[in-house]
Structure 1
Amino acid sequence: METRQALLVDAFADEPMAGNPAGVVPDAEGLSDDQLQAIAGELGASETAFVLSSDDADRRLRFFTPEREVELCGHATIAAYAALFERGAFDAGESTMETERGVLDVECKLDGTVWMEQDDAEVEVVDCSLDEVAAALGVDDATLRDIGADLPLAVGDTGFPWLLVPVNYFEHLSTAEPDMAAIEALCAQVDAQGLYAFTFDTISGQSTLHGRAFAPGAGVPEDPVTGTAAGACAAHVRRQGVLDETIEQVVVEQGHFLDRPGTVTVDTDGHEVWVGGRAVTTLDGTLTVPEAEASDDIIEV
């Protein structure tokens, strides 16, 4: 049977077993959608990036969760480009990437840091019941009302639409007890695919925001460190004028409650969005792919 190289790469991290693990298949040419989906399910990461050739860009990336394809994934992009750069697939500098959201720019620095362009931010303030949002997130509604007067709920989309929910203090975000079914239903009401709760009360003094991402509808109950959510959230707070003017880049920390801390750096004027981070390969192996017509076969790693 056919085999392909398969990697697990920890994105938005400087050391292994931190950040957000992504599957990466450096050569996915000739694989069917069923095979791509099966591989993503077998690798078990929240998203797997499949690298393909492109007529419109330097390369094409497709992204699959264990349950379905998504149009764009921040951490899997960082993981894929960091892994390819580490293996000498291209030199440091700028390149282009075809995705289901269009052709985007990517830049790899000499030190291995990867910066990816996301879609221009679409941010729409939404009128949701704070009681309903608080119940779904599993926090007291007062934790949302305190900050909601200055920073409204919004759906932000730079490639994956998130319901952005500001929480007043880290303590309350840390003790949240999310109801996944309620979050999925709430997101459906506002045309979002996940809920991103965030606070300006951070662990590190170098960070701007601390976030937690929940996307049960995409098969990801809680995501460790999330590029599209960080990008959309940074654009939202920048547009709302709640950031100090001296803050040039928004530094988002996430993943601590899953014991996978990581950091996303976002450069945005509130409209254009670039997300940057490092990544570390933790597994490099060979995966046996079933025949396309036998999608129910077990994949062996």
Structure 2
Amino acid sequence: MTKKIEFYYVDAFTTETFGGNPAGVIPNAENLTDEDMQKIANELNLSETAFLLPSTNANANYKIRYFTPTKEVDFCGHATLGTAWLMATKYNWMDKDDKIVFESNIGLIPVKWLMENNQLTRVSMTQVRPQVKSIDISPAVVADLVGILETDIDDRYPIKIANTGVPHLMVPVKTRQAIDQAEPNLNELKKMNNDFNISTTHLFTFDTNGQFDIYTRDFCPNIGIDEDPVTGAANGALGGYLYLENILAQQERHQLMIGQGHTINRPGILYVTITPDAENAVIEVAGAAVVSIEGKIFV
């Protein structure tokens, strides 16, 4: 029997349709098999599609699962934000509660509403506690893999793996121009990411001409996409890295505006808040979203 499944495209980290990072969202996935979900994610052909299912956790409103066109992943920031925005606006969650809580493979992800004049302006998700670890790889090799010069690497900061749910390689770069001109060797980058169990490779710079606090690009061939336009998970991990590596002053609260996606004509803005908590920090990633497409899939 054919099932009709509602689906949405939600552009995350933007206020403009066709900006930011598009995520697929399936709000009612309770009757889908794992194979159905993977096929739908492949059909929608976005970097990630989120599927909402009933949760058995008393502290969660839904279970959320994320699929790329080729595989399931444990966490996706922009799909979480897009799903929360959709549930707040199309499914009236703003009227039910001041937040929504998703149960994911990495734990509970609460997402709260940020309102101005009774209008939803952003949603803000709390990511899992940040972790940072070293990696045995030379700056020259990293530069070659991401398609920049070794002299473009900003050696004031370490190349490390950072994690607020999934691991990302943090690559400090001196200039935005170098990041924009990066031409990664995707096959070799995919191999390196798999060798070190890294989800994405995240280039960042403080050279933004005052437009943002930080500017980034994110490459992720090993999860089935060459470049992710605006990356909630990686920029959350970046906030944790900056704090834990003492690049941002510890025991102080920081709010960062991060720009991403401009090189591939999907410009977006993320707002990352870092709040000290004992030896670690709480990382929140916020942004707006726009529902751009809605329809039905016949399964």
TM-score for both structures, normalised by structure 1: 0.90
Mapped to 2, the partners of 1:243 and 1:43 lie a distance apart of 39
Equivalent position SS for 2:281: coil
Map of 1:277 onto structure 2 = 287
1:194 counterpart residue number:
200
Q: Is the 8 A contact 1:153 1:164 kept in 2?
A: yes
Name the counterpart of 2:87. 84
Counterpart Cα distance in 2 of 1:77 and 1:153:
27
Matches within 5 A, 1:1-301: 1-56=2-57, 57-91=60-94, 92-110=97-115, 111-112=119-120, 113-144=122-153, 147-148=154-155, 150-202=156-208, 205-243=210-248, 248-268=254-274, 269=276, 271-289=281-299
Q: Give CA-to-partner distance per residue, 1:139-178, whole Å, 9 cap, x none.
A: 110111xx22x21011011122111100011111111110
Q: CA deviation at 1:244?
A: 6.7
Counterpart Cα distance in 2 of 1:198 and 1:221: 17
Structure 1 residues 89, 59: CA separation in 2 closer, same or farther (over 3 Å shift)?
Answer: farther
Instruction: Please tell me whether the aligned partners of residues 94 and 105 of structure 1 are also in contact (alpha carbons under 8 angstroms).
Output: yes
Matched residues in 2 for 1:247 and 1:103: separation?
23
**Structure 1 segments unaligned to the other structure (5+ residues):** 290-301
Equivalent-residue separation in structure 1 for 2:55 and 2:211 (angstroms) = 39
Task: Give the alignment's Cα RMSD to 1 decimal.
Answer: 1.6
Contact 2:243/2:249 (8 A) holds in 1: no
2:187 partner letter: A
SS in 2 for 1:54: coil
Corresponding residue pairs, total:
285
Identity %: 34
CA distance in 1, matches of 2:227, 2:239: 19
The Cα shift of 1:115 comes to: 0.8
* Structure 2 CA distance for aligned equivalents of residues 18 and 155 of structure 1: 28
Deviates more, 1:85-94 or 1:26-35: 85-94
Identify which range, 242-251 or 43-52, moves more after superposition: 242-251
Q: Which residue of 2 aligns with 1:298?
A: none
Letter in 2 for 1:156: A
Local SS of the residue matching 2:143: helix
Deviation of 1:267 after TM superposition, in Å, equals 1.0
Question: 1:96 Cα shift?
Answer: 1.8
